[in-house]
Amino acid sequence: MHWMSKINPMNRKQIYTLLSVIVIIAFYFLNDKVDEKIADDNYNEKASPSSETNTFYLPTSTTGYIVHHDYYSLSYNEDHEQSEWVAYELKKNHLSKNRFKRPYFIRDKSIITKSADWRSYKNSGYDKGHLCPAADRKFSIKAHDETFLTSNISPQKHDFNAGVWNRLEQKTRYWANKYNGVYVITGGILKSDLKTIGRENVTVPNYFYKILLDNQNGNTKMIAFLIPHKESNKPLYEFVVSVDKIEQLTGIDFFSKLEDKKENRLEANTNYKNWSFR
C-alpha cells in the first residue's frame, strides 16, 4: 500500500499545500538566479559605451557604477534606488513627433543589484518621473522604450512633473533644435535624510537639476538649473545656478575632461544671456 494512503485526508491536504509552497519558492529562487545571470551578462555587454555616447562629457560617478545603454548613460546609486545622473546627447535630428505606444516600466537588468521595482511607486502619490524624457528619444521605438527602465526614473510630484519640470524639458528640446544639439545631464539631489517610498525605500529628492552644454562651432557654453521639488510658475531663468553649485550639493565632477581653466570659467558662470528664453 502506498504510504500516502495511510495518511489522514486532512493531513494529506496539508502536505500537498506544503509541497506546493516549496515548489513556488523554488521557482522564484531559480528565477532570481536566472535574472542575476542575465543582469551580470548584460552589465558586461554594457561595459563599453555605444557609438551614441559622448564619453568626453560624462560626469564622474560617486558610486563607481556607470552603465552605458544604447541611447543614454547613467550612474546608479543603490542606496537611493535610482541614478544620481543620466547623461546623453540630444541632437537636432533626434527631435521627432513620432507617437509610440507607452510601454510598461521594467527593471534595468544591467543593474546587478536590480533597479527599483515599479511597484515601489504604486499608491505612493508620486509619478515615475523620467530623467531622460521619452520625448527626447522618439526618433526610434528602441530609443523610446529604453527610457522606461526603472533606473531612469525618480519619484516626482505630479504637478511638478507635469508643470515646471515639463517646461524645462520642452525648453531643452527647443535649445537642441536652435543650437543644433545639446549635451544633457539630469538627476535629483540625493541625501541620506530624505523621504522614501515603497518597500525598497526609493529616495524622494527635494531638488532636481539639469545641466546643458552647447559646443556649437567650438564656442562652448553651459547652463544649469536647480529646481525645488514643487510646482512653480516662476520663469525658468530664476532657477539658473552655476554648475559649481550643483557639484557642491552632489559631490559629482561634471566636466572633468575639459581643460582646467575653461572648466573653471564655465562651471562658475550663472549668466544665461547666451541662452534664449523666448
The grid coordinates of residue 274 equal 547666451
pLDDT in tens, 188-245: 999 999 999 999 999 999 999 999 999 877 789 999 999 999 999 999 999 999 999 9
Cell of 230: 514643487
Looking at 41-45, 172-176, 177-181, which range is the least confident one? 41-45
Asked if residue 157 and residue 64 are part of one domain, the reply reads yes
Number of neighbours of residue 104 by Cβ within 10 angstroms:
7
- Asked whether residue 6 is domain-assigned, the answer is yes
Residues 102 and 185 reside in one and the same domain: yes
The CATH number of whichever domain residue 175 belongs to comes to 3.40.570.10
Is 278 within the bounds of a domain?
Answer: no
CA neighbours closer than 13 Å in the CB half-sphere of residue 220: 14
pTM value is: 0.82
Same domain? For 104 and 138 the reply is: yes
Is 174 domain-assigned?
yes
Helix (H) or strand (E) holding 202: strand 202-203
Grid cell 525645488 in the structure block, residue = 228
**248, 166: one domain:** yes
| DSSP element (H, E) containing 155 | strand 153-156
Do residue 176 and residue 208 come from a single domain?
yes
Is there a contact between 273 and 73 (Cβ–Cβ < 8 Å)? no
pLDDT tens-place string over residues 136-174: 999 999 999 999 999 999 999 999 999 999 999 999 999
Task: Tell me: do 24 and 54 sit in the same domain.
Answer: no
Nearest to 243 by CA among 213, 205, 216, 206: 213
- Percentages (nearest 5) of helix, strand, coil residues in the chain: 40, 20, 40
Into how many domains does the chain fold?
Answer: 2
Residues 124 and 200 in one domain: yes
Do 198 and 261 belong together in one domain?
A: yes
275 in a structural domain: no
Average pLDDT of the residues in 3-24:
56
pLDDT of 33 over the 80 cut: no
Q: Which domain holds residue 40?
A: 1-45
